[in-house]
Amino acid sequence: MLTGKKIVLGITGSIAAYKAAYLCRALIKKGAEVQVVITPAGKEFITPVTLSALTQKPVVSEFFTANDGSWHSHVDLGLWADLMLIVPATASTIGKMANGIADNMLVTTYLSMKAPVFVAPAMDLDMYAHPSTQQNLEKLKSFGNQIIEPTVGPLASNLEGKGRMEEPDRIVEVLEAFFEKKGELISKKILITAGPTYEKIDPVRYISNYSSGKMGFALAEECASRGADVFLISGPVQLQTVHPHIQRINVESAEEMYRAALDYFPKMDLAILCAAVADYKPVHCAERKIKREAGENLTLELVPNPDIAAALGNNKTDRQRVVGFALETDDEIAHASEKLQKKKLDFIVLNSLREPGAGFQGDTNKITIINSKGMIKNFPLKSKKAVAADIMDTLRNEGYAY
Ligand code: C5P
């Protein structure tokens, strides 16, 4: 799994830095190419000579080589790597990464990094438990970085607790599992729709729904982290994408989403239609704000929006797959199965509004996946991130996507 993989190994000033030498050796033994970037404090704990001898590459530490002024390009390293690993990561480096304080070569390389980043913290138990460290780690997670949690055990301070860096062999296993998972989706193009749509009534009002976009965004991150190229067509939401392989296309109305989806679909292998598209829109959008007329009712005439799922289902080629979502309030399985057939979908993911913790807004979901061959699979309540992984695993296991 690691053969030929280009890994930037960032080492910081912790007593656990000596373990980075073992890690280097293990990665190289597995066939990886390792480029070490070390902080000035890191060099106090392990010498660059040890690391360059192990990696057969000069260790990068400063922005310039002092004797000839040649520049070490953090941008080139960011483009070169398949993965960046920061082992050990001190509280200080984690804080700098979380806040963009690029005062050394390691953090600068991190900020330029295009590849996934894994961070293995190592520090005293109180430093690790401090709200500052915990908030910084949460921030790194929100950037899409993976934290390899420290373990509980004896620490260099002679205290015992959580803060002990994960062992090199285990870190290698984490990376192997990551590349194995990523390998499953190689070179697929996936279209995802997410969020609500806004259907304008007048310049200041619209018809919409409570969709937050969280499920669609979780799917986009999951697919991208497995190696797919993701095209995320999103209605108006308060969410950000972090993975570099997600291309985001922002739209407002169902009509705009429909046009964007039809435009991108011919080049896609799979479409996952997660958006809560408004079924109807006002016939006209008033040019000026509609005024209240005392004592009079206001009637809005609505016309149906195009059905994106049905359009893609009807247009798909033999090599393309279309997955829809269904949010139902009653007779869920029957209604979802009917939608699957009507829209010519391959899969439909059902979430019921009757299930606590499922559906709009929240961070959890409880789904049932139904396919066109009659498979019905129930899943327990999980985070939307874990639900996204279940959906992609099911697609793979059923031989649909990959
Ligand atoms: O609204 P409905 O329950 O029919 O939605 C089921 C599926 O169809 C969802 O995947 C949704 O994203 C999709 N859909 C769509 N375009 C619409 C309405 C729904 O793509 N206009």
pLDDT of residue 182: 62
Catalytic residues, by residue number, are 209
The atom number, within ligand 1, closest to the CA of 349 reads 10
Apex 295 CA angle, 292 and 296, nearest 5 = 70
Q: How many residues does the chain have?
A: 402
Distance of alpha carbon 311 from alpha carbon 317, whole angstroms: 12
Answer whether residue 4 shows pLDDT above 60: yes
Sheet of 146-147, strands arranged across: 33-38, 6-11, 83-89, 117-121, 146-147
Each residue's pLDDT tens digit, 193-225: 999 999 999 999 999 999 999 999 999 998 988
Model pLDDT for residues 162-188, shown as the tens digit of each residue: 999 999 999 999 999 888 766 565 558
Tell which one of 325, 340, 353 to mutate to probe ligand 1, the residue whose CB is within 8 A of the most ligand atoms. Answer: 325
Q: What is the distance in A from the centroid of ligand 1 to the CA of 273?
A: 7
Give the pLDDT confidence score for residue 71 in this predicted structure.
72
pLDDT at position 364 is 85
Share of the chain above pLDDT 90, in %: 72
Per-residue pLDDT tens digits for 226-283: 888 999 999 999 999 988 889 999 999 999 999 999 999 999 999 999 999 999 999 9
**Could you tell me what percent of the chain has a pLDDT over 70?**
96
Instruction: Measure Cα distances from 368 to 320, 341, 374, 380 in Å.
Output: 22, 16, 12, 9
Mutate to test the pocket of ligand 1, among 307, 348, 360 (most ligand atoms within 8 A of CB): 307
* pTM, to two decimals: 0.61
CA nearest to 42, candidates 69, 21, 72, 64: 21
Question: In whole angstroms, what is the distance from residue 311 CA to residue 191 CA?
Answer: 14
In this prediction, residue 255 carries a pLDDT of 98
